Amino acid sequence: MPETKTVTKKPVLEAVAVTVRFAGDSGDGMQLTGDQFTDTAAVMGNDFATLPDFPAEIRAPAGTLPGVSSFQVQFSKDVIFTPGDQCDVLITMNPAALKVNIPNVKKGGLIFVNESSFDEAHLKKAGWKSNPLTDNTLKDFQIIKAPLSALTANALKDHPLKLSEVERCKNFFALGMIFWLYDRTMNHTIEWIQKRFAKRPEIVNANIAALKAGYNYADITEALPARYQVREAKLEPGTYRKITGHEATAIGFVTAAQLASKTLFYGSYPITPASNILHELAKYKNFGVKTFQAEDEIAAVGAAIGASFGGQIGLTGTSGPGLCLKSEAINLAVMTELPLVVIDAQRGGPSTGMPTKTEQTDLLQTLFGRNGESPIAVVAPKTASDSFQMAIEAVRIAIKYMTPVVFLTEADTMNAAEPWKLPELDKLPKIEIKHPQLGNEPFLPYSRNSETLARPWAIPGTPGLEHRIGGLSKADLTGNVSYDGPNNEKMVRYRAEKIKGIANDIPELEIRGPKSGKLLVLGWGGTFGAIYQAVMDLKAKGVEVSQAHLNYLNPFPKNLGQVLSQFEKVLIPELNSGQLLLLIRGNFPGVNVIGLNKIQCQPFKVEEITKKIRELV
Amino acid sequence: MSPEAANKLPYTREDLVSGQEVRWCPGCGDYSILATMQRTLAKFDLPKEKYVFISGIGCSSRFPYYMNTYGFHSIHGRAPTIATGLRCVNPELSIWVITGDGDGLSIGGNHLMHSMRRNINFNILLVNNQIYGLTKGQYSPTSPIGKITKSTPQGSIDYPINALCIAIASEATFIARTLDSIPAHMGSVLERAMKHKGVSFVEIYQNCNIFNDKAYEPITGREARDDRMVLLEHGKPLVFGKGRSKAIRLKGLRLEAVDYKEGMDTKELLIHNEQDPEPTYAYLLTQMEYPEMPVPFGIFREIVKPTYDEMLNMQVQEAIKKRGKGDLKELIYGTDTWTVK
């Protein structure tokens, strides 16, 4: 369908980076609208980063504060690393969305309000004592009042739709306005609408009409005197796609299984925010992927262990509360020394906490939350797209070292979208596996590879290697049940050494900036973007500060101690009350570590980190 | 063992003995179950590397150590979950879950129920001695109400659960009951379980001579047996009693015992039908409890349904047929890409 090209006399100004936030009721389609805006940014070659922020309730009462769902995206002609601290433009569908999001708008920013919804009932539901459009509440912002519901209804008056269906098209009207404002193409979204609603042509027509009406309205309204252009970003040369964290995670594990020539078996019980991985992997059955929606978290991990015992890739995924339930089974994989990968998508805790919000509070649980001495490997992706590489790493380590590995990700990393420079497939190394076969010597299921200390992975069905494994203490070599104390110590130490030894098989920690100096900012996981941006901003202003970011949390890269020792101070920003900090203090007692801690289930803003760095240098 | 010896078929019982010292109490009913299992498997021509025994925690869960096959002694109540994952990735193995009344019906009750409803192709042996043995004698979910144990000095106030009722409610496709003291009966039931495709659930009445000795004596003891046990035979009336003098009849929604003589007209009598597509009849049999009624042993129900693992593999094949074998490049590239020069 050809795009409606409006000849406009309004000036087009240049912008470098813009942050837009769509906010409305959870039923208003804000996530979808944000997704469409992001896809278009991708198609137009911008760099971008997103922050979906939605309530746990599927449809909280309409018009209320807890029901507000938002989607923030920063798009840019420069390379960016965060979805933006505050937005330049806020699009709100009702008074509740306005109320919740005012703190997220830059001073002087543009706020679109759906004037149709500012009636007494809606104002009351959102807890406004007086109408913010007529009092002084919004004096620091530019307000674009548009009666979105009425305008959409007018645009669709000839369409054979029910009133409630017409109302539901208003998000496309709003999207059309923002598309005009930033001189975006509508083609991608039009094609998407055609595909998505293919079975209901009347909905296709109405949504496209609403989108175009919004675009044209923005063009003619005097409230918007100019539009902005954000040019293509100068990303590294290569082929890119937009990817979310859960997509990159799922694709990473499928790829790992293919690199290992194995079946990927995913056992999982639905839990926010990990369920998306189950949904993704369930689509890939033609890759031989087998997904199993278990009766509970324990069954999910148990089945994954069963698949590993059977010689395939056993993977399970969950979030904090589910990880608690899986700990006993993870320890079974520690004792039986079977490969197992556990995805933990961290969310606000403790207990049920804030299921849809982000945190980094399970680090110590993954390391120490099991009975006995039970070290396991832990890796953490630092961005959405980094999940791909770290998923492959998790599988590689699990198999090579015959150990459980936790893939420790976060709600925001999972939900965020960003451009991903596609890897060269033929450069991804194969994951080599050797299952033992019967030889002339008696088979010893707990003999060890001298380099890795891994035991052999003998799988049921192999003639002559019949053996029994289990959770009882194992005798060295034979794996028979053993109640011998010194043998137990020997085995505990073997397993600890095995995990420690992984440090020789992972990349050393890289430092951005000077290799020594006053301050190193050390992070792990999803805080990468905010830290990177903060350090970059300060460097541009002449502040001397270095950054290092951990992808491997157990074991640490072997040069970590040496890296830390070169700095007077080490700042550790974490979305918890100091878990990595505790580990660094315990492992490297001489280092002067300072925490920057936030436990509000929201990501760091760049300015929170810059402020702390300035305090310290 | 040499490679040749490893594959020698047919087997004798000894070929399936692991050589690990068996550590059950002398006189434990588990010895008989182990020996019967080894004898039963020796009748089949499946090489022993194809067998996997998976257990949870408890006395009976030591079983895998004593079988010269693959084995996994896992954690409390979770054996069916491990068996599920293993079955999903390997259609060729013969998988046996060994559990007990505590392991299977208490801590692992959830997994037991769900593996049965999914009809995953493995066998579950639930060794029921109505007591916790390994933790030294607390009452179990199958102990009768009023049971005096260390944890219930005034008698337990839990109503017991009937394992077979759970199996029927979960629509397990093979449901049977047998006992440790008649190995021939147990052998015939295990043989049928082995041959069944889909989930097989076998409850085995087992005597714990240390903590709950003679719990089943009033039913299965030599004196009581004839009058208190009914051996189920497909297509035949439910005959029992000394001199085969009694049979079972349906009266309203209840079963009752009536006089029986060989050769009499059986149309008034209940005729055992393992293949009844409705679960009601099998459920009625589970309600035949001591002391009001004789207790049935044998195959309660065997029906045919596609198995979970079969359907899972079919979905994989269908996906490959429909969309072609997965191509990594297509997967990674997705639908929209752009190039930066």
Residue A130: Cβ-neighbour burial (10 angstroms; 0-12, 13-18, 19+): exposed
Q: State whether A245 and A207 are in the same domain.
A: no
| Residues in A 220-249 with any Cβ partner in B closer than 8 A | 232-243, 247
B215: closest CA of chain A, how far (Å): 30
Enumerate the β-bridge partners of residue A421: A240
B105: closest CA of chain A, how far (Å): 15
Residue B296's nearest CA partner among B229, B246, B202 is B229
| Residues in B 64-83 with any Cβ partner in A closer than 8 A | 64-65, 67-75, 78, 80-83
Q: List the domain range (segments joined by +) for residue A295.
A: 236-506
What span, in angstroms and rounded, lies between the C-alpha atoms of A405 and A342?
6
pLDDT tens by residue, A12-52: 999 999 999 999 998 899 999 999 999 999 999 999 999 99
Residue B288's nearest CA partner among B258, B260, B259, B255 is B255
Instruction: Report whether A266 contacts A306 (CB < 8 A).
Output: no
Contacts of A467 in chain B (CB under 8 A): 70-71
A325 lies within 8 A of chain B by CB: no
Confidence of residue A1 (pLDDT cuts 50, 70, 90): very low
Q: State whether A443 and A331 are in the same domain.
A: yes
Q: Which one-letter DSSP state was computed for residue B272?
A: -
Instruction: Report whether A237 contacts A421 (CB < 8 A).
Output: no
Query: Do the domain assignments include residue A567?
Result: yes
A482: closest CA of chain B, how far (Å): 12
Q: State whether A43 and A87 are in the same domain.
A: yes
Helix (H) or strand (E) holding A293: strand A290-293
**B80, B85, B341 member nearest A305 (Cβ):** B85
Residue A509: Cβ-neighbour burial (10 angstroms; 0-12, 13-18, 19+): buried
Residue from A298, A337, A468 to probe the interface with B (highest B Cβ count within 10 Å): A468
Q: State whether A242 and A224 are in the same domain.
A: no
Q: Where are the beta strands (DSSP E) in A411-516?
A: 417-421, 468-470
**A240, A311, A471 member nearest B340 (Cβ):** A240
Contacts of B114 in chain A (CB under 8 A): 294-295, 299
pLDDT at A115: 93
Tell whether the torsion through CA atoms of A203, A205, A206 and A212 is positive or negative: positive
Q: State whether A534 and A575 are in the same domain.
A: yes
What span, in angstroms and rounded, lies between the C-alpha atoms of A322 and A351?
10
Query: Do the domain assignments include residue A511?
Result: no
Total residue count of chain A as it appears in this document = 617
Q: Which two structure tokens, joined as six digits, stand for A465?
A: 């290697």
A51: closest CA of chain B, how far (Å): 21
What span, in angstroms and rounded, lies between the C-alpha atoms of A422 and A246?
16
Distances from the Cα of A186 to the Cαs of A74, B61, B123, B166, in angstroms?
18, 64, 58, 58
Residue owning tokens 């290569």: A238
| Residues in B 97-116 with any Cβ partner in A closer than 8 A | 110-111, 113-114
B91 lies within 8 A of chain A by CB: no
The enclosing domain of A207 has a CATH number of 3.40.920.10
Distances from the Cα of B313 to the Cαs of A286, A288, A292, A485, B316, in angstroms?
11, 9, 12, 45, 5
B120: closest CA of chain A, how far (Å): 12
Q: State whether A264 and A372 are in the same domain.
A: yes
Enumerate the β-bridge partners of residue A18: A75
**B85, B331, B340 member nearest A265 (Cβ):** B85
Minimal Cα distance from B5: which residue of A?
A464
Q: Averaged over A290-315, what is the pLDDT?
A: 98
Confidence of residue A54 (pLDDT cuts 50, 70, 90): confident
Q: Do B89 and A468 touch (CB under 8 A)?
A: no
Q: Which of A506, A535, A550 is the last residue of a domain?
A: A506
Q: Which residues have CB under 8 Å from B64's CB, separation 6+? A: A468, A470, B53, B54, B55, B71, B72, B73, B98
Residue A465's nearest CA partner among A488, A437, A435, A486 is A437
Supply the DSSP string of A230-291, one letter for each residue.
Answer: EPPP-PPSEEEEEEEHHHHHHHHHHHHHHHTT--EEEEE---TTTHHHHHHHHTTGGGT-EE
Q: Do A296 and B110 touch (CB under 8 A)?
A: yes
Helix (H) or strand (E) holding A587: helix A579-587
Q: State whether A212 and A295 are in the same domain.
A: no
Report the domain count for chain A.
3
Minimal Cα distance from B337: which residue of A?
A241
B39: closest CA of chain A, how far (Å): 18
| Peptide linkage before B183 cis (omega within 30 of 0) | no
**What pTM was estimated for this model as a whole?**
0.95
Q: Do A299 and B81 touch (CB under 8 A)?
A: yes
Contacts of A266 in chain B (CB under 8 A): none
Q: Which residues have CB under 8 Å from A238's CB, separation 6+? A: A421, A422, B339, B340
Q: Which residues have CB under 8 Å from A485's CB, separation 6+? A: none
Q: State whether A190 and A172 are in the same domain.
A: yes
Instruction: Report whether A314 contacts A267 (CB < 8 A).
Output: yes
A423 lies within 8 A of chain B by CB: yes
Q: How far is CA B278 from the centre of its chain?
A: 20
pLDDT under 50: residue ranges of chain B? 1-4
Q: Which residues have CB under 8 Å from A85's CB, separation 6+? A: A19, A605, A606, A607
Contacts of B310 in chain A (CB under 8 A): none
pLDDT tens by residue, A332-350: 999 999 999 999 999 999 9
Q: Please give the mean pLDDT across all residues of chain B.
A: 96
What span, in angstroms and rounded, lies between the C-alpha atoms of A33 and A46?
18
Residue owning tokens 């010292």: B21
Contacts of A426 in chain B (CB under 8 A): none
Distances from the Cα of B58 to the Cαs of A178, A302, B31, B107, B152, in angstroms?
65, 18, 15, 11, 20
β-pairing verdict for B254-259 and B246-251: antiparallel
**A45, A303, A471 member nearest B84 (Cβ):** A303
**A45, A304, A480 member nearest B20 (Cβ):** A480
Contacts of B316 in chain A (CB under 8 A): 285-286, 288-290
Q: Which of A466, A485, A506 is the last residue of a domain?
A: A506
pLDDT tens by residue, A111-158: 999 999 999 999 999 999 999 999 999 999 999 999 999 999 999 999
B330 lies within 8 A of chain A by CB: no
What span, in angstroms and rounded, lies between the C-alpha atoms of A262 and B154?
56
A71: closest CA of chain B, how far (Å): 21
pLDDT at A393: 98
A311 lies within 8 A of chain B by CB: yes
Q: Do B88 and A284 touch (CB under 8 A)?
A: no
Instruction: Report whether A73 contacts A18 (CB < 8 A).
Output: no
pLDDT at A8: 52
Helix (H) or strand (E) holding A100: helix A95-101
A464 lies within 8 A of chain B by CB: yes
Q: How far is CA B302 from the centre of its chain?
A: 13
Instruction: Report whether B97 contacts B71 (CB < 8 A).
Output: no
Minimal Cα distance from B116: which residue of A?
A295
Q: Which residues have CB under 8 Å from A227's CB, separation 6+? A: A8, A10, A11, A12, A13, A180, A181, A182, A183, A218
The enclosing domain of A576 has a CATH number of 3.40.50.920
Residue ranges in A377-427 assigned as alpha helix (H): 386-401, 411-415
Residue owning tokens 């991985």: A277
Helix (H) or strand (E) holding B176: strand B174-179
What span, in angstroms and rounded, lies between the C-alpha atoms of A603 and B223?
75
What span, in angstroms and rounded, lies between the C-alpha atoms of A557 and A560?
6
**A294, A300, A468 member nearest B71 (Cβ):** A468
Q: Do A237 and B340 touch (CB under 8 A)?
A: yes
pLDDT at A9: 75
Instruction: Report whether A254 contacts A287 (CB < 8 A).
Output: yes
Q: What is the ipTM of this complex?
A: 0.97
Q: Do A461 and B92 touch (CB under 8 A)?
A: yes
Structural domains present in chain B = 1-215+306-341 (3.40.50.970), 224-299 (no CATH)
Residue owning tokens 């009601």: B280
Residue owning tokens 């009721």: A25
Q: State whether A34 and A67 are in the same domain.
A: yes
Task: State the Cα torsion B280-B282-B286-B288 to the nearest 10°.
Answer: 90
Query: Do the domain assignments include residue A448?
Result: yes
Contacts of B67 in chain A (CB under 8 A): 468
Q: How far is CA A408 from the centre of its chain?
A: 10
Residue B23: Cβ-neighbour burial (10 angstroms; 0-12, 13-18, 19+): exposed
Q: Which residues have CB under 8 Å from B225's CB, separation 6+? A: B219
Q: State whether A462 and A606 are in the same domain.
A: no
Confidence of residue A55 (pLDDT cuts 50, 70, 90): confident
Minimal Cα distance from A330: which residue of B?
B75
Q: Please give the mean pLDDT across all residues of chain A.
A: 96
Total residue count of chain B as it appears in this document = 341
Q: Which of A471, A506, A541 is the last residue of a domain?
A: A506
Q: Which one-letter DSSP state was computed for residue B298?
A: E
| Peptide linkage before A603 cis (omega within 30 of 0) | no
Helix (H) or strand (E) holding B165: helix B163-169
Query: Do the domain assignments include residue A1?
Result: no
B151 lies within 8 A of chain A by CB: no
- 3-state percent helix, strand, coil for chain B, nearest multiple of 5: 35, 20, 45
Query: Do the domain assignments include residue A6?
Result: no
β-pairing verdict for A417-421 and A238-244: antiparallel
Classified as helix, coil or strand, A111 is strand
Q: State whether A490 and A551 are in the same domain.
A: no
Residue A240's nearest CA partner among A387, A47, A382, A78 is A47
Supply the DSSP string of A208-230, one letter for each residue.
Answer: HHHHHHHHHHHHH-TT---EEEE
Query: Do the domain assignments include residue A7?
Result: no
Query: Do the domain assignments include residue A330?
Result: yes
| Residues in A 271-310 with any Cβ partner in B closer than 8 A | 284-290, 292, 294-296, 298-310
Query: Do the domain assignments include residue A474?
Result: yes
Residue from B338, B339, B341 to probe the interface with A (highest A Cβ count within 10 Å): B338
Residue from A35, A244, A286, A292 to probe the interface with B (highest B Cβ count within 10 Å): A286
B48: closest CA of chain A, how far (Å): 8
Q: How far is CA A461 from the centre of its chain?
A: 39
What span, in angstroms and rounded, lies between the C-alpha atoms of A131 and A98?
11
**A235, A237, A470 member nearest B73 (Cβ):** A470
Q: State whether A402 and A493 are in the same domain.
A: yes
Instruction: Report whether A306 contacts B84 (CB < 8 A).
Output: yes
